[in-house]
């Protein structure tokens, strides 16, 4: 996003709308710091600039800057997956998408929050840590998958590392026996990540089983607390054969 200097009257109205404090005064006019702006479009949608000085940057859809918009503007359709928001339906939709078979565990790592944002370098810290822990496959329907240069190491394509986004989700699938080591890995890498993240743990609950107690025990054993969340298949999904 940018502000047309010749139009801006310096009223400051747009500045509080930016969740990441990218808009500031430069003399008597407002400017947008292009390094910090993650192209969420909030200022354009909400600030109602009295002189229409806020406008799209001409390079907003140039790659790799286009990733900022795709990961940060909920009205933007992600170019890699065709899905709005962060570009993934997440493993939690597994009863419909069949992305997560019964017996497997899905982990989604949700990195970044609006006022913090995050660098894609922080995503790489996590994908590298996951690879070191033995998980070499990021969910293929997740946009992070298309950003990898090397699945074996978790390296992202180097040209992407300077980009900054509001939030991203990394999704992986594993056997139950791998949960503990992945949680340990994520706790360790959390010290290096210059943002926040939460961890979602998904399973298809089979008939007759109320709570997957063995999985919860692994989570507790790592000193982590959990909050239950369920989607009940009311016939919209497809039964596993």
Chain residues that interact with ligand SF4, rule: CB under 6 A = 1, 3, 8-14, 17-18, 20, 22-23, 30, 32, 37-43, 47, 49-51, 53-54
Give whichever of 73 and 122 is closer to ligand SF4, judged by the CB atom.
73
Give whichever of 65 and 99 is closer to ligand SF4, judged by the CB atom.
65
Smallest distance, Å, CB 127 to ligand SF4? 24
d(CA 183, CA 180): 5
Smallest distance, Å, CB 18 to ligand SF4? 3
Q: Exposed, middle or buried by CB within 10 Å (0-12, 13-18, 19+), for 88?
A: buried
Smallest distance, Å, CB 151 to ligand SF4? 31
Give whichever of 68 and 125 is closer to ligand SF4, judged by the CB atom.
68
d(CA 210, CA 120): 38
Question: Alpha carbon 133 to chain centroid distance?
Answer: 21
Smallest distance, Å, CB 188 to ligand SF4? 31
Distances in whole angstroms, Cα of residue 200 to Cα of each of 92, 141, 197, 239: 9, 17, 10, 23
């Amino acid at each position: 996003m940018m502000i047309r200097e010749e139009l801006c009257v310096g009223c400051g109205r747009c500045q509080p709308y930016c969740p990441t404090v990218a808009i500031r005064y430069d003399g008597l006019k407002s400017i947008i710091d292009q390094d910090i702006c993650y192209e969420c479009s909030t200022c354009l949608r909400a600030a109602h600039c009295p002189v229409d000085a806020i406008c799209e940057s001409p390079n907003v859809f140039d790659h790799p800057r286009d990733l900022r918009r795709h990961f940060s503007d909920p009205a933007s359709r992600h170019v890699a997956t065709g899905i709005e928001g962060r570009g993934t339906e997440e493993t939690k939709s597994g009863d419909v998408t069949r992305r997560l078979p019964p017996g497997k565990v899905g982990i989604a790592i949700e990195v970044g929050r609006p006022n913090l944002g995050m660098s894609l370098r922080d995503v790489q810290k996590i994908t590298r840590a996951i690879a070191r822990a033995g998980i070499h496959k990021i969910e293929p329907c997740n946009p992070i998958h298309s950003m990898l240069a090397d699945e074996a190491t978790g390296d992202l394509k180097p040209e992407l590392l300077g980009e900054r986004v509001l939030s991203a989700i990394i999704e992986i699938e594993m056997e139950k026996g791998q949960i503990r080591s992945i949680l340990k890995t994520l706790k360790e890498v959390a010290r290096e990540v210059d943002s926040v993240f939460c961890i979602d743990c998904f399973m298809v609950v089979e008939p007759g089983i109320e709570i997957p107690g063995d999985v919860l025990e692994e989570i507790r054993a790592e000193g982590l607390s959990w909050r239950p969340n369920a989607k009940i298949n009311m016939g919209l999904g497809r039964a596993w054969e």
